[in-house]
Structure 1
Amino acid sequence: FNKTFSFLIYTEVDIGDLLMLKLQWEKDSFFSWSDWWTPFTFSIQRVRVKSGETQKI
């Protein structure tokens, strides 16, 4: 099955060019205990990055 997770990262200053993106899985609630005996693959098919947008009015 497919699942989409979206999030926003906010910084006060321009961080420059994105050189590396590190993902870390914090909880295993996404997978059931039955998956423990079988190897699973977690694949990321698309990463979109927007820059230069502001929330200021």
Structure 2
Amino acid sequence: MPVINFFEEDISYKLKDKLKVKRWISETIMAEGYKLNELSYIFVRTHTYCGSTSSI
């Protein structure tokens, strides 16, 4: 299984059933004909893009 990480930044949210979500992501990517090596999914309260921060 590829490396899939979940991080929380500035929030108290905890993803339930991480293993099921990882499996679903991997299976979906493979079903579309792609290969996943590594994925980091970051849950944040604010959005940072190109060095600027704005509220969602």
Structure-1-length-normalised TM-score:
0.25
Greater helix share, structure number: 2
Greater strand share, structure number: 2
Structure-2-length-normalised TM-score:
0.25
Greater radius of gyration (CA): 1
